[in-house]
Amino acid sequence: MFRGVLPIGPRFRKKRRGVAGPNKNQKKVLSNLRAARPTSEGETLAGKFPAVESLTLRLDFTTPQRQALDGETKAFGPSDACDFTAPCPGRCGGYGVFDFTPAFTSAIARREASAEAHGTCQQPIFAGSPEGCGMQLACRIAVVYRPE
């Protein structure tokens, strides 16, 4: 029989884990899927837009608190794969995607030399969350057309 004094104090409580985001394997699968897409003739700049000589895309990311996060410039030639999508670098873990294909396709069809598009990531921060990521992207395009 135990004749000692039992310790009185707070019980041991296991810490709860926070909601997990995408792990490294899920991120690797997503990046491999993006890289494995074959570039057919229809996906090159010359295949999609035969009248375009070159195209420059400027991406500016801002946080929901209006702080500049990242900026990137992409230049496309006639033989380059033309993709007007950008993954979200925000709190959603890269699951959000900005797609400006319709906006820029119509601008190129109208033969505009420059165009702008803006978007906000609506992807939830985690599964079941009512709050969205909120990352914002301002995208500018400059187009050089072939002479007619």
Tokens of 88: 């979200």
Cβ count near 92 (within 10 Å): 23
55/42 Cα distance (integer angstroms): 16
**pLDDT tens figures, 26-58:** 778 777 776 666 544 457 888 888 888 998 989
Measured in degrees and rounded to the nearest 5, phi and psi for residue 111 equal 60, 45
Tokens of 23: 């792990």
**pLDDT tens figures, 79-97:** 888 778 888 887 777 778 8
Out of 6-10, 27-31, 105-109, 142-146, least confident range: 6-10
Predicted TM-score (pTM) of the model is: 0.62
3-state secondary structure of 27: helix
